[in-house]
Structure 1
Amino acid sequence: MSGVPVQVLPAGEHAVLVEAPGLAEVLALAVAVRAAVARGGAPWSGVTDVVPAARTLLLVGDRLDPAPVADAVRTLAAVVHADASTPTDGDLVEVPVRYDGPDLDDVARLTGLTAGEVVAAHTGTPWRVAFGGFAPGFAYLVGGDPRLRVPRRDTPRPSVPAGSVGLAGEFSGVYPRASPGGWRLVGTTDVVLWDAEREPPALLRPGGLVRFVAVDG
């Protein structure tokens, strides 16, 4: 498919909010916008941050002029290809996981796979960091094995331990800290997702890739 239909709205004096039909379109447009910003030149030189979400893309910057940036986004969106082959624009991060999660057997039952096949599917395909949300360091990961799409739990847990690796819908993710949550937990990791003393603090950033690696408990 060629071209992404968008609605571009001003968001204050120095930001632009782009509304797109879905996540695939947002991710494709984010790659194109980041590439344009990296090349520089007007009006992209005023953009300092590109923030994707499930259906929107926020462009911000202290020197961003909303009107010309909005026009540039519309022009760029008209030639963007939003499909599964959209390239990534970040690093690959390997996350070691002990597949000892309390919902592993439930995921196997829901998908018709064995527990071992769930692990193989989760580790067999790189996941893409789509966007962050709900807690510092949490990343919504997409693009994994489609057989792993499972619903959230009917009853969320009041507390999910930090490092828990979960599945929900089309997403996978790692809880950066203890918090309530309704995702299906398949494993745990010791990787630190958020460290305020690290630069940048978030280990997983939009546009990058994540590969889960099974390790012994």
Structure 2
Amino acid sequence: MPEFRPCGEHAWLLDLDDNRMVHRWAAAVRAVDLDGVREVVPGMSTLLVTFDPGLTNASALRAALDAVHPGADLADDDDQHVIDVRYDGADLQDVAELTGLTAAEVIAAHTESVWTVAFCGFAPGFSYLVGGDPRLYVPRRDEARVRVPAGAVALAGAFSAIYPRVSPGGWQLLGHTDAVLWNSDADPPAVLRPGAVVRFRDVGR
């Protein structure tokens, strides 16, 4: 069982062992459709469950969550994505030097990894991807850029990500994609949601 912590007056925060367990719990909570639950928000090793105080209360929701039993990991064949990337990023050679790989080996490691969306944050549509080749673990840049273009594909620590819009950023840029990952008029607006599986495909430099 996770550790349950109150988060404000209208939410419980579940501390879990790892990100896979976070998604198992998220799926289980959504599946039982608990009365009063507003949002189920995955984090890296936590799950936030918010509720409507007009429909339930913290004690009742806690009791209901105690009765939830997550099942095994289930692959969602409808939530798998292939992202075409041109590996022409400004930091590709720096990443090669940091990892001791050639630029071609960096690209191969990035495209051969099966990535999963661990959680979303920083900006609308910004998805933190995990599951990459450990050789690709690199630090953020010493100095962040004021402007990172939309579609930039990047690395930082154990994560990869795609910048969904122009923004500041300090991640190492490997390349770019033309894929549109956030559309505020769509439902849901984010293309890459927590639990989604992502593969990158090299389409040249």
TM class, shorter-length: 0.7 to 0.9
SS of 2:97 mapped into structure 1? helix
How many residues of Structure 1 are paired with residues of Structure 2 in the alignment?
Answer: 202
> For residue 149 of structure 1, what is the aligned residue in structure 2?
137
Deviation at 1:212, TM superposition (A): 0.7
Task: Choose which of 137, 143, 146 in structure 2 pairs with 1:158.
Answer: 146
Task: Choose which of 23, 28, 39 in structure 2 pairs with 1:30.
Answer: 23
Whole-angstrom distance in 2 between the partners of 1:99 and 1:114: 13
SS of 1:198 mapped into structure 2? coil
TM-score (norm 1): 0.83
> For residue 44 of structure 2, what is the aligned residue in structure 1?
54
- Contact 1:34 / 1:50 at 8 angstroms: preserved in 2? no
TM-score (norm 2): 0.87
Give % identity.
49
SS of 2:188 mapped into structure 1? coil
Gaps of 5+ in 2: none
Task: Choose which of 173, 181, 198 in structure 1 pairs with 2:186.
Answer: 198
Could you tell me which amino acid in structure 2 is paired with residue 11 of structure 1?
G
Q: Are the structure 2 counterparts of residues 213 and 39 from structure 1 closer, same or farther at C-alpha, using a change threshold of 3 Å?
A: same
For residues 111-137 of structure 1, what are the alpha-carbon distances to aligned partners after superposition, in whole Å with 9 as ceiling and x for unaligned? 111111111110101111011111100
Instruction: Tell me the C-alpha RMSD between the 2 structures.
Output: 2.3
Deviation at 1:64, TM superposition (A): 4.6
Deviation at 1:161, TM superposition (A): 0.8
Deviation at 1:39, TM superposition (A): 3.6
Gaps of 5+ in 1: none
> For residue 12 of structure 2, what is the aligned residue in structure 1?
16
Deviation at 1:71, TM superposition (A): 3.8
> For residue 61 of structure 2, what is the aligned residue in structure 1?
69
- Contact 2:148 / 2:163 at 8 angstroms: preserved in 1? yes
> For residue 80 of structure 2, what is the aligned residue in structure 1?
92
Task: Choose which of 197, 200, 203 in structure 2 pairs with 1:212.
Answer: 200
